[in-house]
Amino acid sequence: MSAPVAQRFVSVRLIIFAVAEAFGVSITELRSSRRTAATFRARAAACLLGRELTRASFPMVGRMLGDRDHSTIMKAVLRAEGMLRTDEDFAVRYAAAKRAIQIIANSKLAELIRDDDTAAVAARICEHPSQADRVSTLQIIAMAARLVTLEELAEDAFNMLASLDQMVDQPDRAALLRRDLHTRINAITESLGSLGYVTEPQGEAHV
């Protein structure tokens, strides 16, 4: 029995290609700041498919869709869910994009539309700087997205350590600080997941 599509490899790039085709827009338009009805609907579909079919975080999906932030992607997901219920044309195009993804994800073509291993691309550039001009625009975007995510991860980790210090120094505020700490841990977990690291809990956390 074949695995459900969500368990196969589905890249954000594959979603972008499928949505662009199903909604009749170009990839450039999908990633641009244009707000025509077609691009607006297509972006919403891409955001919802990204949530349904990948482990990519909202920030990662947003950066692949033209550097859109977490809250923008969340709102787009809600809009897409609403249009699925009320807009027949949107629902038909969404289903077509999803079906295309299901077919391609189970084929060898999926290997050609993977989200790039940004660490490997960066390592090749460092090893062979003269070949940097061979890096594609999508690879540059993916590396930039990973770099920004790592910077945000470092900031969250620093703030988490600061919260731990405060819990020791200010025991009377432990309950309040504990809630803040859980929020930071969740943010770090989401960032690690978007970078491809396993983040399933290995035991109950006691914070």
Residues 97, 188 share a domain: no
At 5 the pLDDT is 46
Cα–Cα nearest to 108, from 3, 8, 7: 8
pTM over 0.85, yes/no:
no
- Alpha-carbon Rg for the chain, nearest whole angstrom, is 20
Q: Which of 68, 76, 70 is nearest to 57 (CA)?
A: 70
Q: Are residues 105 and 162 in the same domain?
A: no
- Report the C-alpha gap between 42 and 172 in whole angstroms: 50
Residues 207, 203: Cα–Cα separation, whole Å: 12
- Is there a single domain that holds both residue 24 and residue 46? yes
Q: Do 15 and 109 share a structural domain?
A: yes
Q: Is residue 203 part of a domain?
A: no
The Cα 56–Cα 21 span in angstroms is 21
68: domain CATH number is 1.10.1750.10
| Sign of the CA dihedral running 87, 92, 96, 101 | positive
Nearby residues of 164 by Cβ (< 8 Å), 6 or more positions away:
181
Residue 187 lies in a domain: yes
Q: What share of the chain is helix, strand, coil (3-state, %, to 5)?
A: 75, 0, 25
Looking at the fold, whether 64 and 164 belong to one and the same domain comes out as no
**Residue ranges making up the domain that contains 92:** 5-113
Alpha-carbon distance of 89 to 207, in angstroms, equals: 48
Kindly give the confidence (pLDDT) of every residue in the chain, 207 residues in length, as a single tens digit, with 9 standing for 90 and above. 444 444 457 888 889 989 999 999 998 888 888 889 999 999 999 999 998 988 777 777 887 787 687 788 889 999 999 999 999 999 999 999 999 998 888 776 656 566 556 677 787 788 888 878 877 776 776 677 777 777 877 888 888 888 777 777 777 777 777 777 777 787 777 667 666 564 444 444 444
If asked whether residues 9 and 76 sit together in one domain, one would say yes
Concatenated DSSP letters of 106-120:
TSGGGGGGPPP-HHH
User: Do 66 and 31 contact (CB within 8 A), yes or no?
Assistant: yes
Same domain, residue pair 48 and 62: yes
Number of domains, the chain: 2
Residues 96 and 156 occupy one common structural domain:
no
For residue 199, tell me if it sits in a domain.
Answer: no
* Torsion sign (Cα): 15, 133, 68, 33: negative
For residues 97 and 153, membership in a common domain is answered with no
Residues 50 and 73 placed together within one structural domain of the fold:
yes
**One domain for residues 71 and 123:** no
| Token couple for 93 | 């195009």
Residue 200 forms part of a structural domain: no
